[in-house]
Structure 1
Amino acid sequence: MAMASTSSALRLRPLLLVLLLAATSEATTFKIINQCSYTVWPAALPGGGVKLDPGQTWALNVPAGTSAGRIWARTGCSFLGEGGSCQTGDCSGLLACTVSGRSPNTLGEFSLGQGQSDDDFFDISLIDGFNVPMDFLPVPVQGRSGCSKGPCCAANITSECPRELKAPGGCSNACTGSTASRCNTSYSAFFKQMCPDAYSKPDDTSTYSCPSGTKYQVIFCPLINQTLSPTAESPLPAPLAEVTPPTPSTLPTAIGPTSMKPKSPSRRRVIAILAPVGGFILLTILFLIAFFICKRQ
């Protein structure tokens, strides 16, 4: 009986060891925030996908050692049950993604190191195109150093997208090849001007790093940074100045070339007195003229 219990314990040891390793392996947390004024459906590999209404967040835990992770925002989605479709960043019509999304989409890429000595590498890529502004920012960890700033793409490229690159819900990128020779320089310069921190062509070097174990936040539609792209968003119209009705002191004294200046009160009184007197004199003269004419006849 004792031998049977001993053999059972021996068989359980590998399973316990696997469970222990899984429990002790660290996962990196990505806080995904939707600051857009519309609903987005973030997708992640690994991780799946969710629906985020404006103001909502998604805490995504990614296993340490993930070598090719991706996060992007899908827009214009319609999911009925398990199936559906998205205007941008679609992944075979599934809410939980198992493959990369169809362009155009703004893509956050990352590679997570293993252990304290390895670094994480991450970037924002526009090679697949653009659909929403994005910030990919590390969360400072006390006692750790060596973390570079995160990439930002706060400009709204969709509103400034060249006509040749316009796509439903976003802006495509001509740099879809694996080499820089396939990339139109005028288009790559446009993306780089709008989002200087982004990885926008195959030979770009806009990659950032942080010590392994750093937490991150991905913000869709961050606050517009006017220093990056002053024309990214049309400025709000200036408020209308308060209009006050004109007073007699502010009214113009002349409206047109034939207008006369207002008469003074004393002048008005003189005219009021002379008018009837003049009329009486005129009538008297007319009466005398008629009288003399009749007398001569």
Structure 2
Amino acid sequence: MASPKLFLLLISVIISMAITSTPAAAANGRIHLIMVNNCAESVWPAMLGTTGHATPQSGGFHLGPGEETTFDVPVGWSGRVWPRRGCSFDARGMGKCATGDCGGVLRCGGAPGATPTTVVEMTLGTPQSPMHFYDVSLVDGFNAPVSMTPVGGGRGCGVAACGADLNVCCPSALEVRDREGRVAGCRSACLAMGSDKYCCTGEYGTPAACKPTIFSHLFKAICPRAYSYAFDDASSLNRCKANRYLITFCPPQP
């Protein structure tokens, strides 16, 4: 039988290993978000905290082709991220984006984005309830391929994504074109039609009453890991306990 001193030494080593193996993000109460621009052109990521949550990075910044940046958000944070494309800003940060614009400023500062935009949504857990929830949504339309991938986190952590370019196959009724006449975005059926039936509101405000439309089926067939309409939870909402997440604009295709 091990001596009491040896036993205590073993216990102290085990405790030390447990402490040092705790991810840094968990230890300091922060979650790391890594944003990567894999597109051939610049994107201007924008962020918005939901009610009661701060907006990180002043709400937006520039990310050139091949560039990446990392920043932290607090545990329990809830909000959204979306790409802006075709932007031009002056030295004061004033300008405009072809899609995803937030009032003509570089740093959105709590302003929402103009649709259509591909949206990454997340509600992060807390020490008491550590599960993080996240998704990629096409409910507000599409303007760029995006994915959100956990770094670590164990088994069962899914990838939220719409990695295909929906602008290439957007139905004409949903197209949004830029000044040069190119398809810059693809609206959702809700944005295009504006009725309760397509927006899952009013008498259609329940999963039983609001069913996917022909457009939702098209989006789902092309981007099966993204929300295609408001009640598309079963195959689109992801859960994970990872402390680092990679958000990629124009993610590599398999």
TM-score range, shorter chain: 0.7 to 0.9
Give the 5 Å matches for 1:36-47.
Answer: 36-45=39-48, 46-47=55-56
For the Cα contact (< 8 Å) 2:147–2:160, is it kept in 1?
yes
Residue 224 of structure 1, CA deviation: 2.4
* 8 Å Cα contact 1:174/1:184 also seen in 2: no
Task: Find 2:243's aligned residue among 189, 197, 214.
Answer: 214
1:135–1:219 CA contact under 8 A, matched in 2: yes
- The answer as to 2:154 corresponding to 1:126 is no
Residue number in structure 1 paired with 2:169: 160
Shift of 1:26: 1.2
Q: 1:183 to 1:162 in 2, by over 3 A?
A: farther
8 Å CA contact 1:27–1:61 kept in 2: the answer is yes
Count of residues paired in the alignment: 197
CA distance in 2, matches of 1:183, 1:50: 37
Kindly state the Cα deviation for residue 117 of structure 1 after the two structures are TM-superposed. Answer: 3.6
Q: Please state if 1:170 is matched with 2:185.
A: yes
Measure how far apart 1:60 and its partner are.
2.5
Structure 2 residue aligned with 1:61: 72
1:82, distance to aligned residue in structure 2 (A): 2.6
1:55 shift after superposition: 0.2
Secondary structure of 1:159's counterpart equals helix
Q: Do structure 1's residue 33 and structure 2's residue 61 form an aligned pair?
A: no
**How far apart, CA to CA, are the structure 1 residues paired with 2:95 and 2:75?**
31
Point out the structure with the larger helix share. 1
CA RMSD of the aligned region, Å?
1.9
Q: Given that residues 146 and 163 in structure 2 are in contact (C-alpha distance below 8 angstroms), is that contact kept between their aligned partners in structure 1?
A: yes
Match of 2:119? Answer: 107
TM-score by length of 1: 0.62
User: Map of 1:1-297 to 2, 5 A cutoff?
Assistant: 25-45=28-48, 46-47=55-56, 48-67=59-78, 69-80=79-90, 81-97=92-108, 98-115=110-127, 117-141=129-153, 145-168=154-177, 169-176=184-191, 177-179=199-201, 185-205=213-233, 206-211=236-241, 214-225=243-254
Q: Percent of aligned pairs with the same residue?
A: 40
Match of 2:221, SS state, is: helix
Deviations 1:133-179 (A, max 9, x none): 111100015xxx35421112111110000000001311110134243
Structure 2: distance between partners of 1:183 and 1:32? 34
Residue identity matched to 1:216: Y
CA contact (8 A) 1:175 1:182 kept: no
Q: Which amino acid aligns with 1:210?
A: C
Q: Normalized against structure 2, the TM-score is what? A: 0.72
Post-superposition offset of 1:109: 0.2
Determine which structure has greater relative contact order: mean sequence separation of CA pairs < 8 Å that are 6+ residues apart, divided by chain length: 2
**Residue 25 of structure 1, CA deviation:** 4.9
Quote the offset at 1:183 in angstroms: 7.1
Q: Which amino acid aligns with 2:144?
A: V
Indicate conservation of the 8 Å contact 2:212/2:229, yes or no: no
Letter in 2 for 1:35: N
